[in-house]
Amino acid sequence: MTTQDFLYACTLIALGVLVIAFLVIAARIIIGPTLPDRVLGLDMLVATGIGFIAVVAVKTGYFLFLDIAIALGLVGFLATVAFARFVLKRDRPPEADPDVIDTVHRAHPPRSTPVKPKQTVRARAGGSPS
């Protein structure tokens, strides 16, 4: 067995494992009882896609695919952060959101003590003030 035969066998095994992982992850996304399960499944699906790209890059010898895998990893990370932020905010009422409260306070700062309007007494033209 030469090294090329060994590399070919390893890439086939890796692709087989990735296909099984893809099927399990797809089942988790479809069945997942909660939204965080589905978000985690999508994150793992991105990681599996990166694995596919890396194995294909090794198998074909065209290593430019690794740059694509790195870019996909960055996009997957940003998507995971956005999904996590969405999951955290979806059950909270808008009043409980600190960003909204902070924005409201900047627009209308709370007063420390209530200000009473000054009452001025004007004298009538022909008599005493009443």
Of 28-37, 73-82, 114-123, the poorest mean pLDDT is in 114-123
The residue among 67 and 112 whose pLDDT is bigger is 67
102 has pLDDT over 60: no
- The domain segmentation of the chain, as residue ranges, is 3-107
Q: Which of 48, 45, 12 is CA-nearest to residue 30?
A: 45
47 has pLDDT over 90: yes
Predicted confidence (pLDDT) per residue in 57-81, tens digit: 999 999 899 999 999 999 999 999 9
